[in-house]
Amino acid sequence: MSILSIRNLSKTYQSGSRKLTVLENVNFDIQAGEMIAIVGPSGSGKTTLLGLCAGLDSGSDGSVVLNGNALEKLNEDQRAEVRNKDVGFIFQNFQLLPTLTALENVMVPLELKKRKDAKEKALELLEKVGLKDRATHYPTQLSGGEQQRVSIARAFANEPKILFADEPTGNLDTETGEMIEKLIFDLNKEKGTTLILVTHDLDLAAKTQRIIHIKGGKIQEDAHA
Ligand code: ADP
């Protein structure tokens, strides 16, 4: 069974009297354990598509079935439940909660799952990304690369079945980018976590097994390595 199944997915935004179609009739299936990249020019709809696949937003038409859950049939609370259970998300701009320390940010998904060992587990994850000594730092006290590593620890915390990453190395220097890349790819190799990566970096995309090219909100090519 596919872990993610997209059928005739469309997304339209209304801006004043104008209708802007950002995604049009998108179809694909992703199997558990796959590692894929979505590439395309700026404004082609990549981020919108990723958000719809992860249940962060809903489409205007069509269906998204994520790990057996038809997202368009769920309300916002139910979608959040699916996200907390099955999904990890890494954003280009990290999106850490500014009033929480690194440790507390990583603890958020663990506390949502009512894990009694939330603190120990979060410290373990910070150690994995090489940041145990920054546990009590707030996001503003961390470099971009460190913030992205905290956000990765947070995304790994609920042991997601599927990890979405939107330009995870986009704002980082090459060395830090390579470290982030390794953390994400290792999760796929070691735990079999499905990885869906949005990137404009074709070298990074080439390291995945499958590349979906998108342009003007439509799939141009779906290429398996
Ligand atoms: P990409 O990630 O490929 O750069 P996006 O998915 O971010 O593309 O955006 C695709 C198009 O949708 C862009 O033209 C963008 O301006 C538009 N768009 C994105 N979000 C909104 C929104 N909330 N309201 C209106 N238009 C939007």
pLDDT in tens, 129-144: 999 999 999 999 999 9
| pLDDT at residue 111 greater than cutoff 80 | yes
Q: Which residues contact 61 (CB under 8 A, 6 or more apart)?
A: 8, 9, 10
Q: What is the pLDDT of residue 140?
A: 97
Structural domain harbouring 137: 2-224
Does ligand 1 have an atom closer than 6 angstroms to the CB of 48? yes
* 38 in Cβ contact with 86 (< 8 Å): no
Give the pLDDT band (50/70/90) at residue 23: very high
Dist CA 126 CA 96 (whole Å): 14
For residues 30 and 196, the answer to whether their CB atoms sit within 8 Å is yes
Contact predicate 132/126, CB 8 Å? yes
Q: Looking at the 3D structure of the chain, how many domains does it have?
A: 1
The continuous run of DSSP H or E covering 52 comes out as: helix 46-53
Answer for the pair 90, 163: CB distance below 8 angstroms, yes or no: yes
Query: ipTM for the complex?
Result: 0.97
Residue range 185-208, pLDDT digits in tens:
999 999 999 999 999 888 999 999
Choose among 61, 64, 42: nearest CA to 51.
Answer: 64
* Tokens read off for 197: 């990566």
Cα of 147 from ligand 1 centre, angstroms: 25
pLDDT at 133: 96
User: Considering only CA atoms, which residue is closest to atom 20 of ligand 1?
Assistant: 48
Q: Is 193 in the pocket of ligand 1 (CB under 6 A)?
A: no
Q: pLDDT at position 158, please?
A: 84
Domain at 77, CATH number: 3.40.50.300
